[in-house]
Amino acid sequence: MIAHAKPHAPLDIYATTVANDWIDYNGHMNDAAYALVFSRSVDALMDRIGLDAAARKHTGQSLYTLQMMLHYFREARVGEALAVTCRLIEHDEKRMRIWLELFDAKGERLAASEQLLLSVALGEDGARAAPWTHETQAALDALRKLHASMPHPVEAGAGVAMTRT
């Protein structure tokens, strides 16, 4: 699954262009559109770790987002090309914590998202937390090994706070 990943580098996971209807009253990309781009990036990650549409249908396994934190660094404008990278910060038998970064065509960082995702089994009684499938666990182990030597993102785990002086 992770065969095309570069060692010690985040995955190039998703690319898109800022759509007209993503622009807000300030003339740049709306905060909800950033969340949409990061959400679609998680969908692309699912395809890379054995949770694509066919696997979800076959196994009933999927992901739920438990937490999502967005960091905004610079505005994106209509028509601007966007690229998202993903790195696995940590995982256990049912969860993964990822760091996504959004860049423009020049490589400037526009935003980042830290997410905690849960493996779930979807059944007639609803969703319940479930261990990763063997294939997904192996893909996550391989991805973590690729990202193990990368420095921890400075903003990861920071939460929201106001600095007091």
Which residues, 6+ apart, have CB-to-CB distance to 18 below 8 Å?
29, 33, 76, 77, 78, 79, 80, 82
The pLDDT score that the predictor gives to residue 162 is 80
**Is residue 109 domain-resident?**
yes
Q: What is the CATH number of the domain that holds 55?
A: 3.10.129.10
The count of structural domains within the chain is: 1
pLDDT digits (tens, 9 = 90+) for 119-138: 999 988 889 999 999 999 99
pLDDT digits (tens, 9 = 90+) for 12-53: 999 999 999 999 999 999 999 999 999 999 999 999 999 999
Backbone angles phi, psi at 153, to 5 degrees: -60, 130
pLDDT digits (tens, 9 = 90+) for 73-123: 999 999 999 999 999 999 999 999 999 999 999 999 999 999 999 999 998
